[in-house]
Structure 1
Amino acid sequence: MELSQTFALLSATPATLNALLRNLPEVWTQSNEGSDSWNAIEIVGHLIQYDHNNSMRLEWILKEGDSKPFPKFDRTSFQTAVHAKSLADVLDEFTQVRTNNLEKLQKMDLSDVVLAKRGIHPALGSVTLGQLLATWAAHDLTHLHQLTRVLAYAYRDAVGPWSAFLGVLQCNGHSKPA
């Protein structure tokens, strides 16, 4: 994958989230798919946490390489922080964090040699910096998909028999933390 394509996707995510969520009534942004699933604010909060974590992992690969594993991180620790915030605040925070990360990335020399540098993921083992960047973009898409599923879930009964034609209502995705 071309790095410019990855940057384009990472750059588009804040505007996509804003377009999808910014002006929705709270009933939409507070709903989820049932127990152990996330609502819109929690999903954006997770993206903020993931951005912080990926920025740290990127620096870790450059400084530590594969000499020791990345520090583990709790994928749900964001939940306490976001429950005290409005959706607008969480969207603004994500936009700022992502903008800062993209500015850092664009200042880096991301040559093929640098993209091939390795780090050690605590669960996955050896990974490259290039794989980390590709995963970052695919992770955004995973949670954009999740958001559309969470929003569509409100219509699961109202659509009646048309649900058979609505893939977003058939998908079991990854709302539950892995």
Structure 2
Amino acid sequence: MALSLEETILILDRTPRIVRMWLEGFPSELMDADEGPGTFSPRDVVAHLVQGEEDDWMPRLRLILEHGEERPFEVFHREGFRERYRGQVTSELLDRFDMLRGQNLLALRSLKLDDAALALRGTHPDLGTVTVLELLATWVVHDLEHLGQIARVLAKHHAGDVGPWRAYLPILDR
């Protein structure tokens, strides 16, 4: 299915509100829970999403629009948020994510990307040639991936209390 820019913006616009609705006011025990080594807690997810707004999606889109394949993307250090946002409370991260996403979507709308722009290509440091369309679709799926991750962590926090209903809750085994 071809990417709809309107649908893309709808999903991207809702993510900060969904994350805030789920996480605002939760105790540290839940905010710092994860799925094991090498995984993100809900607080980590928010910080990672903030980092993506600052360093990934729009900077890469602008790079493609301005330089095409000539200039490769900067490497995105997916764990870079750990140092950058150390000590920030969740409410500050949620506010920052909401503000940055709003600015980025305003900028995205202002570009008025057409089919020719969606076909423009850039160079990813690991994946090679990518298009604007692929970048935007990945931005959406990346949001949805992390929403799913938050849902899994929150569900697993209650896994010990569901008793025999666990058989009906496959999210607990993912």
TM above 0.5, one fold? yes
Runs of 4+ displaced beyond 3 Å: none
* Among 49, 52, 56, the residue aligned to 1:50: 52
Shift of 1:132: 0.6
Shift of 1:109: 2.3
* Among 17, 20, 30, the residue aligned to 1:18: 20
Once residues 34 and 86 of structure 2 are traced to their aligned partners in structure 1, the CA distance between those partners, rounded to angstroms, is 14
Q: Which amino acid aligns with 2:103?
A: N
Shift of 1:104: 0.4
Shift of 1:156: 2.2
Partner of residue 70, structure 2: 67
* Among 7, 12, 21, the residue aligned to 1:5: 7
28-37 or 138-147, which deviates more: 28-37
Shift of 1:86: 0.7
Once residues 152 and 90 of structure 2 are traced to their aligned partners in structure 1, the CA distance between those partners, rounded to angstroms, is 18
Q: TM-score by structure 2 length?
A: 0.93
Q: 2:63, 2:71 within 8 Å by CA — same for their partners in 1? A: no
2:135 corresponds to 1:132:
yes
Q: 1:65, 1:118 within 8 Å by CA — same for their partners in 2? A: yes
Q: 1:42, 1:82 within 8 Å by CA — same for their partners in 2? A: no
Once residues 112 and 10 of structure 2 are traced to their aligned partners in structure 1, the CA distance between those partners, rounded to angstroms, is 17
Shift of 1:118: 0.3
SS in 1 for 2:71: coil
Q: Which amino acid aligns with 1:102?
A: L
Shift of 1:152: 1.2
- The number of aligned residues is 171
Q: Which amino acid aligns with 2:41?
A: N
* Among 142, 147, 162, the residue aligned to 1:159: 162
Structure 1: state its 5+ residue gaps.
172-178
117-126 or 23-32, which deviates more: 23-32
